[in-house]
Structure 1
Amino acid sequence: MEDRAETTEGECVGLEYQVTREDMRQALRARAKASGRVRRIRQVALTGAAVFVGASVVPLAKGEVPGAQPLVIAGVLVVLLFVVQPWLTARQFHKIASRHGAYHVEVDDFGVAVSNAGGSSRLNWTAAPYYAETPDTFVLLSGDKDLSCLTVLPKRGVRGPEGVDGVRTLLDRHIRRL
């Protein structure tokens, strides 16, 4: 199915798309940047990795040969946190989101209407008071402290650059960009 969209009069932009794993990866990355909880988890993990690296540096300072174990543990922590975990999470989100096939979305002055084979929903602007823009998506975020809900609007689902600008204009008019 080809992704397409149409812009109609009355400040409404339509999108039609299939969710991809890359859409979810970008959306989750944008949410992570905006979420204080994710930042705190990453800081704790990086602090733990620094402790393991420090455990190797102390013997070096004493002129001894450090053990490889602390460096290996630090490396594994970093790879798990910054490579494996985001990849697995995006994969899970994509699997869930793609079950229902093509998404049909309308963005207007009242909010965002989303429908697919699994059902439909309407988000007013108070349900998604924030958004982030990535190179390929707009990501609508909930107002709770953990930004637990997100709606992904891939830019490729909008026809022409005026459609992307139309979505951005509506979002800027009604909600806050993070």
Structure 2
Amino acid sequence: MEHAEPAVGVRVELEYELTRQDMRQALRARAKVSASERRLRIITVVIAVLMVASAVIQLSDGSELNFQMGLGVYAVVMLGVLRPLLMARQFHKLATRHGGSRALVDDRSVTVTNAGGSSELNWTAAPRYAETPDTFVLLSADKNASCLTVLPKRGAREARGADALRALLDRHIARI
């Protein structure tokens, strides 16, 4: 069975309100390509491993684990767990302060509009994207992917809107 190429001139319209889950997925996708996020993850893991190793050495010598060491291990672990959740919460707050959004994606650009204004991104401004279970995340080209645009699949007005959007994105920008 052959699949026909999507026609040029396709437009996909979305109407949505971002959720915290959308932001968590978007930030997780961004973290995969962000150099600063990779460095932070490595530093956090190294510190956690060193602290746990130090605690194990203390305990194996018959010493008691001092309060500061235990608190330090706990803090590093919690930082690794809570940081993504807190970031998603903060980004969600910022992204939804103007209410729901509408997006129009076509062969020329992506335009997102809400009560606070409108922004239009041509394909060179967001030259790559990631697909998560619930969203498409458009990312800037810089090494930290400092700009992102989140397009929830559920916002598509047509039944096959997510498929049409994926085809449009694949035609214009790189999937990561």
**TM-score for both structures, normalised by structure 1:** 0.87
Residues matched between the structures, number: 169
Secondary structure at the aligned position of 1:34 is classed as coil
Which amino acid is 1:20 matched to? T
Q: Is residue 24 from structure 1 mapped to residue 23 from structure 2 by the alignment?
A: yes
Change (3 A) 1:64 1:95: closer
**By how many angstroms is 1:137 displaced?**
0.5
In structure 1, the partner of 2:107 is 109
C-alpha RMSD of matched pairs (Å): 1.7
Instruction: Please list, as runs of the form range in 1=range in 2, the aligned pairs for 1:142-153 lying within 5 A after superposition.
Output: 142-153=140-151
Any stretches of 5+ residues in structure 2 without a counterpart?
1-7
How far apart, CA to CA, are the structure 2 residues paired with 1:88 and 1:103? 23
Aligned 8 A contact 2:33 2:143 in 1: no
Q: Secondary structure at the match of 2:143?
A: coil
What do residues 109-155 of structure 1 show as CA deviations (whole Å, max 9, x unaligned)?
A: 11201111111111010000111111100000001111000000001
1:49 touches 1:75 (CA, 8 Å); kept in 2? no
Name which of 116, 119, 131 aligns with 2:117: 119
Residue type of the alignment partner of 2:75? V
Corresponding position of 2:75: 76
SS at match of 1:114: strand
Establish whether residue 99 from structure 1 lines up as the match of residue 97 from structure 2.
yes
Query: Contact 2:15–2:157 at 8 Å: present in 1 too?
Result: no
Counterpart residue identity of residue 163, structure 2: D
Looking at structure 2, the residues matched to 65 and 93 of structure 1 have their Cα atoms a distance apart, in angstroms, of: 41
Amino acid of the residue matched to residue 172 of structure 1?
Answer: D
Task: Among all aligned residue pairs of Structure 1 and Structure 2, give the percentage whose two residues are the same amino acid.
Answer: 56
Question: Following TM superposition, by how much is the alpha carbon of 1:11 offset from its aligned partner in structure 2, in angstroms?
Answer: 0.8
Q: Is 1:171 aligned to 2:169, yes or no?
A: yes
Q: TM-score, normalised by structure 2?
A: 0.88
CA distance in 1: counterparts of 2:95 and 2:23, whole angstroms:
9
The Cα of 1:68 is off from its aligned counterpart by 5.2
SS of residue in 1 equivalent to 2:32: helix
Q: Which runs of 5+ in 1 are unaligned?
A: 1-8
Q: State the AA in 2 paired with 1:80.
A: L
Amino acid at match of 2:16: Y
Q: Which segment drifts farther, 143-152 or 155-164? A: 155-164
Q: Note if contact 1:114-1:120 (Cα within 8 Å) is conserved in structure 2.
A: yes
Distance 1:48 1:171 in 2: 39
Distance (Å, rounded) in 2 between the aligned partners of 1:55 and 1:39 = 24
Per-residue Cα deviation, 1:57-77 (whole angstroms, up to 9, x for no partner): 223443544445424312221
Between the aligned partners of 1:64 and 1:114, the Cα distance in structure 2 is 59
Q: Please state how far the C-alpha of 1:100 moved relative to its aligned partner.
A: 1.2
Supply the distance in 2 between the matched residues of 1:45 and 1:37 (Cα, whole angstroms). 12
